[in-house]
Amino acid sequence: MTDQFKNYIDGNWLMAPSGKTFENRSPADRNDLIGVFPASGPAEVDAAVGAARGAFAGWRLVPAPKRGEILYRVGELLRKNKEEIARGMTREMGKVLKETRGDVQEGIDTAFYVAGEGRRLFGETTPAELPNKFAMSVRMPIGVCALITPWNFPMAIPTWKMFPALVCGNTVVLKPAEDTPLTAVKLVEILSEAGVPPGVVNLIHGRGEEVGAALVRHPQVQLVSFTGSATVGREIASACGQSLKRVSLELGGKNAQIVMDDGDIELAVEGALWGAFGTTGQRCTATSRLILHRQIAKKLTDMLVARARGLRIGDGLDESVDMGPLINEAAREKVLGYIDVGKREGARLLTGGAIYKSGSSANGFFFEPTIFDQVKPDMRIAQEEIFGPVLSILEVNSFEEAIEVLNSTAYGLSSSIYTQDVTRAFRAMRDIEAGITYINGPTIGAEVHLPFGGVKDTGNGHREAGTTVYDIFTEWKSVYVDYSGKLQKAQIDNAE
């Protein structure tokens, strides 16, 4: 019996009236049907937005500490159900269990971190320029927030967006990626169990071209938060700009790890291996460029290639596996296309570059860990986001050249440098054009209490996580209290 799942609108689990559905199958085994989900459209979006709009009137008046207490219960329930959620996530999107457990843990950490903000949500008090007058600023909720999330972190990214939105007093409509609808269902079930009132959180399944587009353009949606490709992000920004709708975009990356001649080579190999092939390279922070000082390039490259060839590929539910499949056939075809591009451009393929087929992996979208060297900064494989297990090695002669090469792409999300020189480390922190810089660590691995986001084509300037996320999900209101008992005129020349 195939499991059939539903949308969640105004506290009710509902099928799409059209009866249209789509299948969710495991990328590790296409014979594994996880479930059938409603292929929703504008009508379902309208119902969900209407429910969120109706619930906003009451939810915004719930004291923020009480909203935080509900999120604390969400964190406890996520912790209780961590293993079940992680296993379901591995089944539907492929990454290995140690990574999906970490994905759920990010949701847990975010719940507890944001719950505490319910007793903060700090504004500012400031002296007024006139006597017997008080001045302060406070945060106000915005309204209905559309959250459009990707498949590679199906728990962490929705919680990064949803929990701050909720604690600020907003209501939400979540549109998860078609490849990972099950994890979204589990999250919403937990929110309901924790006591989130009907209509405050709504879940709509379906294609981005239909559900996502309808959400972006809906007149009662005040804010759109999107994580995905730069191409789609530009379209969303344009649509939101027409109605002056707030939009937060977290887009692509072409992240680089620098290793200088004084860097710890063994540590750098570990970092590059994890950064390039963790989550099968399907992270916006994945290491897709490795910039090596020429003096250590051959030694490090030889070590890295040997380690990459030893990675165990297979179903992520197998605890011995290091790397799971790509998410779908389109992703695998895209990676294959870039292998051909790299070869045509003159890069040298050192290892990988082909579909991985061994034993039970024949029914999945597996791909070999791939490394190119002799890559030049202007090659497409050094400039464009591949989103797969493909690493390009570039050689440089100096620290200054390494920084120049790192900054030479349109993206600026994450970065890394391995060096024992404190001067180089601090110059890298200053000169690298990226929202995140690691010193002697890989480009992947964010922490929920620090801002997350990037510069250039990586986004539109907002930062998720940390305290900066509340600037996305609140409006500032300045408040003046004049207790002088007379008219006092500000913004004129009061000097005597």
CATH of the domain at 325: 3.40.309.10
Asked if residue 381 lies in contact with residue 342, where contact means CB atoms within 8 angstroms, the answer is yes
Residue 360's pLDDT is 75
Tens of pLDDT, residue by residue over 330-387, are 999 999 999 999 999 999 999 999 999 887 788 999 999 999 999 999 999 999 999 9
In a domain, 448, yes or no: no
User: Helix H segments across 60-203?
Assistant: 64-80, 82-93, 97-117, 156-167, 181-194
Any domain includes 201: yes
Q: Are residues 197 and 341 in the same domain?
A: no
Res 423 pLDDT > 70? yes
pLDDT at 358: 84
d(CA 36, CA 339): 34
Sheet containing strand 201-203, edge to edge, reads 12-14, 7-9, 201-203, 171-175, 144-148, 223-227, 246-250
Residue whose structure tokens are 């539903």? 6
User: What pLDDT does 494 receive?
Assistant: 59
Spatial distance between the Cα atoms of 34 and 11, rounded to a whole number of angstroms: 24
What pLDDT is stored for residue 68 in this prediction?
A: 98
Farthest-apart Cα atoms in the chain, separation: 89
Task: Write out pLDDT tens, residues 73-96.
Answer: 999 999 999 999 999 999 999 999
Determine the pLDDT at residue 246.
97
What residues are annotated to the active site? 250, 284
- Give the integer Cα–Cα distance in Å for 334 and 327: 11
- Average of pLDDT values for 316-323? 97
Residues 101, 188 share a domain: yes
**Where does the pLDDT of residue 432 fall: very low under 50, low under 70, confident under 90, or very high at 90 and above?**
very high
Q: Residue 437 in contact with residue 403, Cβ under 8 Å? A: no
Q: For residue 134, what are the domain limits?
A: 7-251+459-479
pLDDT given at position 333: 98
Residue whose entry in the numeric block shows the structure tokens 């305290």: 467
| 253-262: pLDDT as tens digits | 999 999 999 9
Separation between Cα atoms, residue 310 and residue 91, nearest integer Å: 23
Same domain as 174, residue 95: yes
- Token pair belonging to 59: 């939810």
Q: Is 2 a domain residue? A: no
Tell whether 245 and 262 lie within a shared domain: no
Residue whose token pair is 């209407």: 50
Running DSSP on this structure, what letter comes out for residue 345?
A: H
Looking at the fold, whether 178 and 286 belong to one and the same domain comes out as no
Instruction: Return the pLDDT at 194.
Output: 98
pLDDT on residue 439 = 98
Mean pLDDT across 173-201: 98
pLDDT band at 495 (very low <50, low <70, confident <90, very high): low
Same-domain status, 109 and 197: yes
Separation CA 38–CA 352 (nearest Å): 38
193 and 317 housed in the same domain: no
CATH number at 228 reads: 3.40.605.10
What's the mean per-residue pLDDT of the chain? 96
Provide the 3-class DSSP secondary structure of residue 139.
strand
User: Mean per-residue pLDDT for 300-319?
Assistant: 97
Q: Which residue from 207, 194, 181, 248 is spatially nearest to 8, judged by alpha carbons?
A: 181
Whether residue 93 is contained in a domain is answered as yes
Number of domains in the chain: 2
In a domain, 230, yes or no: yes
Residue 451 within any structural domain of the chain? no
Same-domain pairing of 269 and 359: yes
Residue owning tokens 């600026």: 412
- Is 485 a member of any domain? no
Percent of residues, the chain, with pLDDT higher than 90: 96
Tens of pLDDT along 139-179? 999 999 999 999 999 999 999 999 999 999 999 999 999 99
Asked whether residue 495 is domain-assigned, the answer is: no
Residues 236 and 288 in one domain: no
- What share of the chain in percent tops pLDDT 70? 99
pLDDT the model gives residue 87:
98
Shared domain check, 196 and 84: yes
Using alpha carbons, list the distances in angstroms from residue 124 to 62, 120, 136, 166, 457: 21, 11, 6, 21, 32
Distance CA 361, CA 280 (A): 15
**219/289 same-domain check:** no
The per-residue pLDDT for range 273-284, each reduced to its tens digit, is: 999 999 999 999
Over 90: is that where the pLDDT of 496 sits? no
Residues 270 and 205 occupy one common structural domain: no
